[in-house]
Amino acid sequence: MEIKIRKCVTADLNDLREIAHQTFDDTFRHLNTPENMQTYLDRAFSLEKLKEELSNPFSTFYFLLVEDKLAGYMKLNEYAAQTDLKDPKSLEIERIYVKKEFQSIGIGRRLISKAIEIARERNKEYVWLGVWEKNQNAIAFYRKMGFQAVSNHAFYVGDERQIDLIMSRNLLV
């Protein structure tokens, strides 16, 4: 199975919007009200919002391709683009999603490995991410990948306040 990871460019905007919308919806629709999901999807994944994020020099998106099919994506943030910690010694994995049909075959590990590789290239001391406290499968996956819960923060889907665990992996050990 051929797996590639490539950096997204502005020309990828429509594909990025489609996969971002689809994977978030597939993952969380059953756990949220339809109104809150629609509000979040419209706000977070509008073409204007994604174009702005793609043009931010401290944010980078990557596509994961399996046999040249778009299977997942990841968004990394540094410095002021980070959603919470904003620590110059860290790299945030803000989003990491794999389409349902490509899950459980080990390719999510490739995205985490790529994030860690980038963090090391940029001399970061740790990588971190936020994960919804109710997303037990993701939490278990991140623990297997060496992440530990260190804190939490609020995350809103529509008007519902949810709690994300902040999980971190030290790169200095």
Establish whether 142 is a catalytic residue: yes
3-class DSSP string for 138-149: HHHHHHHCCCEE
Kindly state the DSSP code that residue 105 receives in the 8-state scheme: S
Element (DSSP H or E) covering residue 130: strand 126-132
**Catalytic residue of the set 40, 62, 73, 142:** 142
How far, in Å, CA of 7 to CA of 76, rounded?
11
C-alpha separations of 30 from 27, 48, 53, 157 in Å: 8, 26, 27, 13
> Which sequence positions are flagged as catalytic?
142
